């Protein structure tokens, strides 16, 4: 498994492999999955990618993104669906220097999914998971890392999504006051 910043970067990139606003999906087909893997330094993993592995990658991504919706509300990382999906991705504990780690026990796409799930487990244990959020704007839904002091952000960007939604709420309040 990669070091923490790299693992978190891979996790965030995986979760953002779908762009809700444009409809672009890096996991739309096996060739697109291979391209995404190559762009993330895992070209060898994509060479033998199958339609079943693609389907599993999409299902895990969908479930993780759904769980992230709760991070703005302080929900916990629990999901029987994710638990069932994760059972198909073998992980192993490693007890070698410099630290104990969780690593994928499979290869190829399953190995990369193992990296992703290991990163989720580590993020949950270190408190980082609660800082990963899904933008509250329905048109955006980008995953972002909340660096605010109290981890209270729910928009990927105040300048774009936050401003757009606050302006919309203001217009609704103004219209209601005028009625």
Over the stretch 46-61, which tens digit does the pLDDT of each residue have? 999 999 999 999 999 9
Share of residues in the chain with pLDDT > 70 (%): 93
Count of beta carbons in the 10 Å neighbourhood of residue 93: 10
**Confidence check: pLDDT of 109 > 90:** yes
Q: Which of 40, 41, 8, 30 is nearest to 125 (CA)?
A: 8
Token pair in block for residue 56: 């599993």
Round the CA-based radius of gyration of the chain to a whole number and report it.
Answer: 18
Q: Where are the domains of the chain?
A: 4-178
Residue 139, SS3? coil
Write down the pLDDT at residue 7.
84
Q: What's the sign of the alpha-carbon dihedral 99, 103, 107, 108?
A: negative
Write down the pLDDT at residue 75.
67
Residue 139: partners with Cβ closer than 8 Å, 6 or more residues away: 20, 21
Alpha-carbon distance of 132 to 118, in angstroms, equals 15
**Confidence check: pLDDT of 34 > 90:** yes
Q: Which residue has the higher pLDDT, 155 or 162?
A: 155
pLDDT band at 145 (very low <50, low <70, confident <90, very high): confident
Mean pLDDT computed over 100-125: 92
**Confidence check: pLDDT of 1 > 70:** no
Q: What's the sign of the alpha-carbon dihedral 104, 45, 144, 161?
A: negative
**Confidence check: pLDDT of 4 > 60:** no
Mean pLDDT computed over 160-173: 73
As a CATH number, domain 4-178 is: 1.10.3300.10
**Confidence check: pLDDT of 81 > 90:** yes
């Amino acid at each position: 498994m990669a070091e923490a910043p790299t693992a978190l970067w891979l996790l965030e990139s995986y979760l953002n492999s779908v762009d809700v606003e444009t409809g672009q999906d890096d996991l739309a087909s096996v060739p697109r999955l291979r391209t995404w893997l190559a762009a993330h330094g895992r070209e060898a993993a994509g060479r033998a990618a199958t339609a079943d592995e693609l389907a599993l990658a999409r299902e895990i991504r969908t479930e993780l993104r759904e769980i992230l919706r709760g991070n703005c509300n302080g929900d916990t990382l629990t999901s029987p669906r994710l638990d069932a999906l994760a059972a198909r991705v073998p992980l192993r504990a490693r007890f070698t220097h410099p630290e104990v780690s969780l690593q994928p026990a499979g290869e190829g796409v399953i190995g990369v999914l193992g990296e992703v799930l290991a990163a989720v487990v580590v993020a949950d244990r270190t408190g980082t998971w609660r800082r990963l959020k899904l933008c509250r704007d329905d048109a955006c839904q980008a995953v972002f890392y909340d660096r605010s002091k109290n981890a209270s952000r729910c928009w990927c960007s105040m300048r774009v999504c936050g401003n757009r939604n606050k302006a919309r709420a203001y217009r609704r309040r103004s219209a209601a006051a005028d009625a």
